[in-house]
Each structure stands twice: as structure tokens, then as C-alpha cells.
Amino acid sequence: MNEKLYVWKLVVGDVFRELDCLNMVVVTIVFATLGFMSPASRGMLLIGMTILYLFLRIFAGYVGVRLWKTIKGTSEGWRLVS
């Protein structure tokens, strides 16, 4: 009984965790449903997710720094955003 409870606690920790990159997941699923990335070609979905993740991170960093400059009015401390 204790072994089953221990395994369940491990599974719950993985299943019910918060998503960090929800935008990347949504964009990848949209591209996959539109047929741009076919699951038939092995690895294409993973490569597509990685590339989308990189582009979305670059875009998020740019927008974050622009907002920092707009709100603060100076360029000091912009590295805290990244």
C-alpha cells in the first residue's frame, strides 16, 4: 500500500505542475493541427517546438525590455527583465 502511495505522489508532482511556456505549446499545437508539422516525420514536431520556443523567447525579451523602458523611462536595470 505504501509503495502505491509513493508512486502516486511522484506522478501527481509531474502531472499537476504549472506550465512555464504555455504560449509555445499553444502555437505548436496550432501549427500541428494546420498541418505544418506532421507527426509522421519523426522529430519534426520536436524541432518545431524548439524553434518556436527560441523565437518566442526572443520576442518576449524584446517586449519586456521595451515595456521596462516605457514604464521606467530609463535604460538602467533592463537586465533584470531578462
Looking at the structure of the chain, the number of domains it has is 1
pLDDT digits (tens, 9 = 90+) for 23-76: 777 877 787 787 776 667 767 777 877 888 888 888 888 888 888 888 877 777
pLDDT digits (tens, 9 = 90+) for 9-33: 777 666 666 666 677 778 777 877 8
Q: How is residue 41 written as a grid cell?
A: 516525420
Q: What range does the domain containing 11 cover?
A: 2-80
Which residue is listed with cell 520536436? 46
Q: Are 56 and 39 in contact (CB under 8 A)?
A: no
Q: Determine the 3-state secondary structure of 42 from DSSP.
A: coil
pLDDT of residue 37: 67
Q: Determine the 3-state secondary structure of 16 from DSSP.
A: coil
